[in-house]
Structures are given as structure tokens and as C-alpha cells.
A and B are shown apart, each in its own frame.
Chain A
């Protein structure tokens, strides 16, 4: 009775080997495709949560901060449906505003940040700590409309920007309540557990802002703030016709840096942080990158601020030699790009992508059928052995 046991053992080992080999070959191809750039974030969509937590006319500059960031992320490609903008007060149509319907971030009034096409999702009394945490964690009443929800998944990069009055590990909401650094850290952890983000970039412009990110403990978070503990963040300039300060220093220099960025830019987060000049900003901005898994010189600005996607097109024959997909016709033009194109170009032919997927399937078909037949013979022999034995 030794022969059937040896045979079954042989079949079993060969089956295992083919399985492992198949997976390994598939894994290798997938890893090679997605890991072509080491240091990509692997995100497929971008979201932004921009919060201005202060109310009253004299906090015009906080509204302008948030609106400046809104304009930047919209310009770089994040659509309104992916932006949650929370403004605690209405300055554009405030009766004190000499320029109705407009919000300016510099004293020359060159650029109107409010524009003609703006959607504010949470306004006035709706900007509360509870609503902010509900937006982040996604725990909302069923009646909350879609435009007020953060519908992110595990491949979303989120840019969270907060501005207002704050202090050591807290931020004031509307001069009425406050959110602490622990609350935000726990909210981010909830998001991580529920797979609601791929990477988060947290930026905060308040007094003693760097303390707000000191309590984070979830992975894939990159954080930056405008001032150290014990330091104030200052406004940049006043406008004599509007009558109040119109922008904060830190945000002003960030926006100035961003004006040089467009959708195809390859500028990295390292460049952004290197542009910080404490003598101009009048406070010491900080960066926290220990929870961030990539190096900062590989993380692009458009990974967080923009809605651009990296796409590559390469012809199916060169990728999978010896395999001709039946849908390839002789007269088709193929784009020969061995060198991956990383300048944000859109896919030029959707059929190319379809062809790539079909070749992947056909490529790995022979180990699968071998495995199928091998396992069936093994089972058949085991059954025969058992029946003979009994």
C-alpha cells in the first residue's frame, strides 16, 4: 500500500509548487506594474477638507486663508464634489464688506477668492466640532446630503486644512467650543481603522499650531503647522478699505509658493517645506513626517493639493512577449513608451488598457489549468485508494 501514498504525495507537492509558481509570477507582474516608481503614493482620488473655525468680521483673514486654499485645490484639479469647505461666518456678503461678493487675500485686491462659482458645504452655525468629526469619521445621520459627506475610500489622499484661533493642543471653533489635538488624532485613527484614507496631509495655521499634530499616531499622515509651542502666528497685511487684516503670514507664503505649481508640476513636499522662511513668516513652522511612509522628496505636491492621476501607456506585445491578444489589429498604432511617462498625461486610448488586461488573463491560464487537472487527479486517486482499502 505504499505506492498510492507515494503517488498522492507526489501529486500534492507538484500541485503546491505550481500554485506557488503561478502566484509568484502573477505577483511579480503586478508589483512590477504598480511599483514602477518607488515612492508613489498609490492613491486614486483626492479630497480636501478646508475648515475656517472663526466667526466675526475681524477674523476675515481666516476666511481668506481657507478660501485661498480652496482656490488652489480647485485650480489644481480637485472638483467641488470632493471638497468640503466649512466657513464659520459669511464675509463676502457681510454688510460690513465694502466689496460685496468678494474676498481678497492681499491689500492690492488683485484676486477675488470668492468668485462666481463657489460651494460652501458647512456655513455659519453648522461649523462645529461635532460636525467636523462627523465629516472625518463618516458617522452621520442618514438624512445628511451627499455634498456634506466625505466619501473617501482606502485609496483617497485627503488634504485637511484648519485655520482659526488656537493654542497649546487646541483650536477654537467660533469662540464657543474647542477641538483638541487628541480629538483629531482619534478621528484620524478611526479613519485608518475604517480604511477611509490612503494618506493624509494635515496643515494648520493658528497660534502654537505645531502642537496640534503632536498627538497623531496613525500611519500615513504628513503634518505641518505654522508655529511652535509658545509662539503666535501673525497676520500678513491689512487692507485699509476692507479695514481688517486680509491674510495670515504662513498661509500667504504657502499660497505664494502654490502659485508656481500647476497640474503637471513635479515639485515635491520637500521643496514646499524647504521654502519655509521663519524670518519672513515671523514664526517657526514645523513638519511631522515620522508617520509618513515615503520620503518627502518623492511625495509630490499634487499628490495632496491636486486631482491629477499618473498614467502610463505601453503596448501589450512588448510587455508580454509571445502573447498575441486577438483584439490587436494589424493597422493599430501603438504608443511605444518603455520609459514611463510621469507628467500626468491622460490615457490616450482606452482600448490599449483593455488589451493589457486581456493579455494578463490569458498569460496565466496554463498554470491554472494544470492546477485544475492536477487537483482533480489527486482527489480521484485518494478516493480510489480509500475505496480499495475499505
Chain B
């Protein structure tokens, strides 16, 4: 494919919606489309690549994609806990805490999928200043039923493999945002990326950045750089008001337009049943969404929304018999039960809020340090034991020190019901060198993923993925000072015992006559 025929297109978009608990969710989306391009054929990995020339497409990322012949890539770095019950579905479904990386690659190349996977995560670790290099075999799985490709896969004859890994304890800070901004054509100097102020973004109640590379058949290779935040204007306002503006949310305004952006717009979700005021006037207003086109107008853009008739924001205190309208069909809760450091139980409570039956794919990835016992799986639906509600169970057990356990299944949820799954687990006793430096903190367990499927008649609607929060498991830790003490004590004992016995056995006391020695010397 000749590079000169490729055209590139860059679009930026900011979607802001006020949430019902007074917070504001914003999603920045920067899309670069490399038209008429396709991912590198894995079979060509044995030969040198043809040179690629990009103007808007990020070169650092493009080089990584071509070196390992990646077809589809999704990397997310999130911090915080996404509250589905208050905030609904996020724009981008990958909201598991920590780092999550998954990639679809074509098999059959001269290097194996696992070698390319290792090269990919180390290259991305270097690019994004994240410790993705530790997503090794002990954290990598292949849950192809849950993480289906979001774009198309070019070569239908090649088998495509998925590699997925999570690092729930990964921190996200300015050093991850810096390379993210450097992948944009206008960096953070102009356009909507000007609003990405790390001092306000990392103060948010939830924030996450993600990189998505997909191939769209007929269009080309698309890179989407997404930054989502949930910011609380009430916390920073003196009078407990939920009024917000760009200045109060991000500390900045959109000053200049990014000259290479084909479209650059801000979309605000307008509240439906409240009195509000929005300034300045939007460019267009349709379907409860106000759109601002930043190419129109020369002034810096600072959108603000006020609730003039509200004195202070009232948090909705829900009575038990009048619950809030749920924003998602499933409400999830996952906990570890038990106080022992040797065993426990994993409990998952799923509530179906719809009045029709739904099915959901349930994915559980458990690192080898927590061993699941599938034969102890019990399902209770509204208190009644119903082990028939689970089907299509696919379980790969963990191998200690090598591989995590992966469980994929389909759960059937009767209407308006609460399902409770419990498994027994045992917690490992780790080798002394396997503990992290802060061993007393415990280990983070990756989130479980649910994919609800709503069937209406013959049609099945697959909803976006839902992530449970991560768990912290407390494993037994040794006394780290003891090995030294033990070695010293035992070596001392062994020396004393060996020395005494050796002397007893081999030492002989002989009386030497001194007079005889003197006569010999004299002569």
C-alpha cells in the first residue's frame, strides 16, 4: 500500500454530561484516521517494513504497531472506582481500575504471539511511562468471548489471537499524561487538548485515559485517544452549588483552535427536567444536546452551566421503598468473605433491575495466588438455590507461579431478581522473594467483567461491558527479618556442634619430653 495515497484526518470532540449526584462527566475524544491504510500483515514480519510517513498520525504509536503487526489495540489507565449506579454507562467501556491492555494479533508470523505481546507491552511501557512490562504470563489471559474485536480483522484466512492483561495496582499521574498529549497533532497547546490540565484532572473523583487502535474496513486505521473524568464541582464550590464552567472544572478555557482538526466540537448533555442556564449560546441544539463548534467564533470558549433556581444541591436520599431509577440493567457487587489468611469465599451479587430476563457473560480472571474451587460454586436467586442459572462454563485453572485462572460463563438472570454466586477460595502462601516491597498492603485482584445481553424477540442487544471494582486480598506475610536471624543462629549451632565433635574425634593430647629435645639440639 503506497503511503503517498494515504490521507489523514483528525477530529476532536468533548462530551460533557452532568450526572445526577451533582458531578460532571467529561469525555475528551481525539480521533486520527489514517485513510486507506491497513495493519501490517504478520507474515511480513520476517522482512523489513516499508517506510511509513505520517503527518497527523502519531509516529511513536505507529512504529510500535508496525513492529509487532498489531491489528487492534486497547490500553486503558484508570484511577478510581466507576459508580455505575450514580453515573450510568461511561462513554468508553474500559473503566477497570489500574492498567488494562488487550490486543488482537494475527498468528502465523515468524515470531510467536507471546513474543510480540512481550515486545508490545514493553514498548508501550516505555512510551507511556507505565510499568506495563510487569504484565507477564502471570497476568495474561485470552478471554476472546468477552473482549471481541471492536473493528474488523483484515485477513480472514489468518487465525487471530487475543492477549489481555490487567495491572490493578497501577498509578496514573502526569507522567502518563505527558506522552498521551505528545501523540496529538496539536499537543496541549491549542484545541480541546488545552483543557487537559493535570492539576485538575488528577484531582477528579475518577479519571482514565485510553488509547484505542482499530481497523475499520473501507476507512482505514483509526487511533482514538480518550480521556474521561468525573469531576465534582460541589466539592470546590463554597456554597455547595453544582454550577460548573470550563474554568471551574479544568482551570483553563479553549483559547485557540487546532488548525489541523477537521471537526472540533463540544457537546453538552442538557438536563431534561430542571431549570438551567447555559452560556454562551450553542451553535446548535438538538435532542437535548447543545453543540459548540469551536471553528466558529474567535473568542476563547468557556462554556458554563448554572442552576439559578437552586440554592444548594440536594443529594437524593433514597427511601428503601422508592429507589432511584437504575441507570444500568445490572447492579454488581463483588466481595471476599472470610477473615482467615488461608481460605475464604468469593461472593458476587448481581441484581437485575429490568422486568425482563437478561443473560450476561461473566468473566473472572483470578491470579494464581487465589485458587478458585469451581465445585463449590453455588448460586442463590432471591434466596433459593438455582444452580441451573449458569451455563456455557469455560474454566482454565491456574498454574501456580505461571498462569492465572480464567472463568467465562453465561448467567441467566430472571426479571427483578438478585443472584448471589459464591465460590470457595484458598489463599497461597508465597515464597519469601515473591512478596512486593509493601507486602502488608496485600495484592490487588483484577475486576470481573460482565457483558449483559438483552434479547427482545429474535434480536439480541449486546450492551457495553461492566467492570466490578478491584479487590484487595491479604495474604500471609512472613517476618522478613527472620531469614537473617535463622541463618546466623543455625550456622552458629552447626559450627559449635561440628567443631566439638571433630575435636573429640581427631584431637589427640600427646606429652612431649623437653629434655630429649635439648640433648638433640646440643649435639
Question: Which residues of A approach B to under 8 Å, CB–CB?
Answer: 55-56, 88, 90, 92-93, 99-102, 114-121, 123-126, 143-148, 173-176
Using Cβ atoms and an 8 Å threshold, which residues of chain B touch A55?
Answer: 437-438
Determine whether B127 belongs to the interface, using a CB cutoff of 8 Å to chain A. Answer: yes
Distance, CA A123 to CA B169, complexed state (A):
12
- Of B122, B171, B179, B202, the residue contacting A124 (CB under 8 A) is B171
The interface residues of chain A lying within 8 Å CB-to-CB of B37 are none
> What mask results when residues 165 to 198 of chain B are scored 1 for a CB within 8 Å of chain A, else 0?
0000011111100110000000010000000011
Residue in contact with B172 in the complex, picked from A93, A114, A148, CB distance below 8 Å: A93
| Interface majority SS (helix, strand, loop, mixed), chain A | loop
Interface residues of B in 85-127 (CB under 8 A from A): 118-119, 122-123, 125-127
Chain A residue with Cβ nearest B177: A116
Given A90-B173, A93-B174, A147 and B203 contact (CB-CB distance below 8 Å): no
Q: What is the minimal beta-carbon distance from B444 to any residue of chain A, in angstroms?
A: 12
How many Å from the CB of A125 to the closest CB on chain B?
A: 6
**A145 and B437 in contact (CB under 8 A), knowing A100-B202, A123-B171?**
no
Between A and B, 5 residue pairs with Cβ closer than 8 Å are A118-B174, A123-B130, A123-B175, A124-B131, A143-B123
Chain B residues 199-216 with CB under 8 Å of chain A are: 199-203
Counting CB contacts under 8 A, is B45 at the interface?
A: no
B16 lies within 8 A of chain A by Cβ: no
CA distance A144 to B171 in the complex (A): 20
- Which residue in chain A gives the minimum CB-CB distance to B121? A143
A119:B172 contact, CB within 8 angstroms: no
A118 touches B122 (CB 8 A): no
User: Residue B203 contacts which of A101, A121, A145, A176 (CB distance < 8 angstroms)?
Assistant: A101
Q: How far is the CA of A91 from the CA of B371 in the complex (A)?
A: 33
Q: Does B79 contact A (CB under 8 A)?
A: yes
- B331 contacts partner chain A, Cβ-Cβ < 8 Å: no
In the complex, B159 has a CB within 8 A of chain A? no
Nearest A residue to B436, CB-CB: A125
The reply to whether B171 and A90 contact each other, CB–CB distance below 8 Å, is yes
Once A92-B202, A145-B122 are accepted as A-B contacts, the answer to whether A117 and B178 lie under 8 Å apart by CB is yes
Mark contacts of B266-283 with chain A using CB atoms, 8 A cut-off: 1 yes-contact digit, 0 otherwise: 000000000000000000
- Do the beta carbons of B129 and A123 come within 8 Å of each other? yes
> How far in angstroms is the closest Cβ of chain A from B169?
8
Most A C-beta atoms less than 10 A away, residue of B118, B126, B131 = B126
A101-B131 in contact given A125-B437, A145-B126 (Cβ < 8 Å): no
Additional A-B contact list (7), CB under 8 Å, known A100-B199, A144-B122, A173-B437: A88-B437, A93-B174, A101-B198, A117-B178, A123-B129, A126-B134, A143-B122
Name the distance in Å between B439's Cβ and chain A's nearest Cβ: 8
- For residue B173, which residues in chain A have a CB less than 8 angstroms away from its CB? 90, 92-93, 101, 114, 120
Given the complex of chains A and B, what is the CA–CA distance between A138 and B26 in angstroms? 43
In the complex the two chains form, is B174's CB within 8 Å of A116's CB? yes
A93 to B188: give the CA distance in the assembly, Å. 20
Q: Quick check: B131 and A92 within 8 Å, CB to CB?
A: no
